[in-house]
Chain A
Amino acid sequence: MGTALVAIPGDDQLMTISIGIDLTSADAVAQSLQDHGARYLERVYTDRERRDCTQPSGGSDAERLAARFAAKEATLKALRREDESIPWTSIGVCSDRAGRPSLELSGPAAALARRRGVAELSVSLTHEGPFAAAVVVAHLQEAR
């Protein structure tokens, strides 16, 4: 987690960004699904995330869920969360038809982003075997 001033080539403007990163174990997610089932899914993931991570067999895809959990935690780091109460479901990952992910904030997470002066959030996800990771970049409204 940190903030940086970024110079854009060919542009006189400086842009302040804040970065968050997280690594989540897909095995841990699979264990949570086994231990807490639907209650785990409902408390942590948005309706859309649960739908996007449902396998054809009807079960949940732990690797894809792990990537989404990593995105939530990376977002909180990029937003420089202190001790604000932020339900996990107020941060959601959406994917367009090409599979490009984006973040959708609501409620307390959206309010925190406004307080931090976030103009835009970018997210990148990856998962391979037992691990999933996410990086989130918050573009802040003005250089500080």
Chain B
Amino acid sequence: MSVTSEGTTRMEIRRVIRDHARLPVEIDSISDNADLFQAGMTSHASVNVMLALEDAFDIEFPDKMLKRSVFESVDGIAAALQELEIEAA
């Protein structure tokens, strides 16, 4: 993934989190490695984030990725998307 496309990916991840994570704080105030669950994302909201990411990136998270660490931060989501991209290549 190039620097530009990774930047675009992270912007899209942040848009999905802003629209679906129901965070009590602004997404711009959260760093890429901040714990979204600690920031107030419920486990139910994480399901919405997962489904919205699938729509946004035209992917499907396999069962092996349905774990807390994948959805707990922007970094975690970006790493999972990169892994899916590599697997699909």
Binding site for B on A (CB under 8 A): 22, 24-25, 28-29, 31-32, 35-36, 39-40, 43-44, 69, 73, 76, 81, 83-88, 108
Contact = CB atoms under 8 A, between A and B. Distances in A.
Contact of A108 (B42, B48, B63, B65): B63
B44 A28 contact: yes
Which of A25, A84, A85 is the most central at the interface, judged by chain B CB atoms within 10 Å of its CB?
A85
Nearest to A70: B44
Interface of B: 20, 22, 42-45, 47-48, 50-52, 63-69
Nearest to A85: B67
B67 A24 contact: no
A88 B67 contact: no
B44 A29 contact: yes
A47 to B, nearest CB: 17
A43 B51 contact: yes
A28 to B, nearest CB: 5
26 contacts: A22-B43, A24-B42, A25-B42, A25-B44, A28-B44, A29-B44, A32-B44, A32-B47, A32-B51, A35-B48, A35-B51, A35-B52, A36-B51, A36-B52, A39-B51, A40-B51, A43-B47, A43-B50, A73-B44, A83-B67, A85-B63, A85-B64, A86-B66, A87-B63, A88-B66, A108-B63
